[in-house]
Structure 1
Amino acid sequence: MRRGMQLFRQGDVAGSLAEFDRAIELDSRQKAYLWQRGLSLYYLNRFEEGAEQFRLDVAANPNDTEESIWCFLCEAQLYGVDEARKRFLEVGRDPRPIMRDTYLMFRDAGDPEKLVSTFSRGRENEYFYSSLYAGLFYESQNDMDSSKHHILAACKSPYGLRSDDYMASLARVHCQCRNWSLS
């Protein structure tokens, strides 16, 4: 699992998936907890398998807001936004205000600009997450210009630049997969 995460952080998404699959071969019980595998599947455009991975994750942890959102992102690519929203995974209440608002934005077709505005003066991680998820929301709507704007903002934020958070790496991988320059 650590090797898969390291490869993903380095931008080797296919290599990361191979390592996550190897971890499952070694211990099949791990599959329901490998949300990182679902992210790799998303960036390899293997949306059906990604959605399945995130559904397994939510079944094992019914309070996991982010896995519900990522399942939506995969299913929006497969079925379109309206159908993905009908299939949206309900989860428990996330204790993090940024993730509660993000979850509601995806579930209820909210306003990503409002999300970013709400958290623009908060903690560094909140601005990062609001920008990242605003960009991902726009991508699900096929508004790639707005998606690029927000995800680049997440990458260039102080948290995005300095944090060792897996999601900060994900934002950079996202840009790499879309051929968006960070400079």
Structure 2
Amino acid sequence: MRTGTGKLFRLLLGITALNPLSHGKGPVPKEIIDAIQARYSAQEKAASSRLAENPKDVSAYSARGDARLFLGDFAGSRSDYEKMIEFNPKLEISHWRLGIAYFYLKEYPKAARQFEIYHGYDQVDRENGIWRFMSQYKASGPKVAAKGLLKYEKDDRPPYPWLYEMYAGRLEPGRVFKTIDEQGFPERYKIRVLFHANLYVGIYLELTGADPGKALPFLRKAVSNEYGRSTGTYMWQVARIHHELLLKSVESGKRADPKR
């Protein structure tokens, strides 16, 4: 069942990648949303069965935590990720996924701490530094977030050095995309780089701008990105969820204020 669902999921992603018109109004068509729901509901159920047999199965908590986050059950995901650390405390320093669960539960100080301790595990990954900035910005405002920016000395994969400069206030969002264009990346690699760029430029505009709706086109591009959509990676799932949450928020605001 789990393997079959995964094959269906990848097949649907491939069909949609070949036929962008099938997207309709949203960046993810209904058949893919249904496949995601089916796949991760099955993964959650399978992991729960494993945990019924062995309540200390850390890998089962990991699988169920991922499934629950992808299904939008942030509290359930947090619980499973915390169980992983309870049974294997050595996992805490590297558990950035727990930080993401905290962030979407609006437990921003906990999220900031989780991304901070991850920095002790990986001092190259500026994506982690961006999440720390986002968490501190939400918890304490822009000044504290700017002051608390993690320091990096080693190189990182594109486009994160440029994105980090943007979050530090030293680079405009438009310049991030111009810099990517100037690199002469092979087309397939550029698509991958643009997935990350659109995701974090979108989040940056939502975080720092007066009009969160301006972030939606960038997040939509991230969710529609061929690399992200065809791989269905953890961060593509995050992009999909973030876009969905922001879209609901913007539409709710428009209904509350018809003049907008």
TM-score, structure 1 normalization: 0.90
Deviations 1:108-156 (A, max 9, x none): 3421122134336852111111100101111220441122221111111
Instruction: Please point out which of 191, 203, 206 is paired with 1:124.
Output: 191
Counterpart AA for 2:176: L
1:72, 1:36 → 2: CA distance? 16
Identity of aligned residues (%): 26
Whether contact under 8 Å (1:93, 1:100) holds in the other structure is no
| 1:80-110 C-alpha deviation (Å, 9 max, x unpaired) | 1122111111123233121111112112342
Q: Root-mean-square deviation (CA), in Å?
A: 1.9
State yes or no: 1:170 paired with 2:234.
Answer: no
Aligned counterparts, 1:33-182, within 5 A: 33-119=94-180, 122=185, 123-142=190-209, 143-180=211-248
Say how many residue pairs are matched: 181
Quick check: 1:23–1:30 contact (8 Å CA) kept in 2? yes
Separation in 2, partners of 1:14, 1:110: 35
Query: Alpha-carbon deviations, 1:5-48, whole Å to 9, x = none?
Result: 22222322222111101101111111111101111111111101
Look up the equivalent residue of 1:46 and give its one-letter code.
Answer: E
Distance 1:43 1:109 in 2: 27
Q: Would you say the 8 A contact 1:64–1:92 is kept in 2?
A: no
CA 29–76 in structure 1, closer or farther in 2 if over 3 Å, else same: same
Q: TM-score when scaled to structure 2? A: 0.65
Q: Which moved more, 1:62-71 or 1:6-15?
A: 6-15
- Residue of 68, 78, 86 corresponding to 1:17: 78
| Structure 2 residues without counterparts, runs of 5 or longer | 1-61, 250-260
Tell me: higher relative CO, structure 1 or 2? Use CA pairs within 8 A at least 6 residues apart.
1
Q: Distance in 2 between matches of 1:177 and 1:19?
A: 22
Larger deviation: 27-36 or 104-113? Answer: 104-113
CA–CA separation in structure 2 for the residues paired with 1:8 and 1:2: 10
Asked whether the equivalents of residues 93 and 118 of structure 2 are also in contact (C-alpha less than 8 Å), the reply is yes
The 4+ residue runs of structure 1 with deviation greater than 4 A are none
> Which blocks of at least 5 consecutive residues in structure 1 are unaligned?
none
Amino acid at match of 2:204: F
1:136–1:147: 8 Å Cα contact kept in structure 2? yes
- Residue 89 of structure 2 is matched in structure 1 by 28
More deviation, 85-94/69-78: 85-94
After alignment, is 116-125 or 27-36 more displaced?
A: 116-125
State how far apart, in whole Å, the 1-side matches of 2:170 and 2:203 are. 13
| Alignment check: 8 A CA contact 1:20 1:37 kept | yes
Deviation at 1:179, TM superposition (A): 4.2
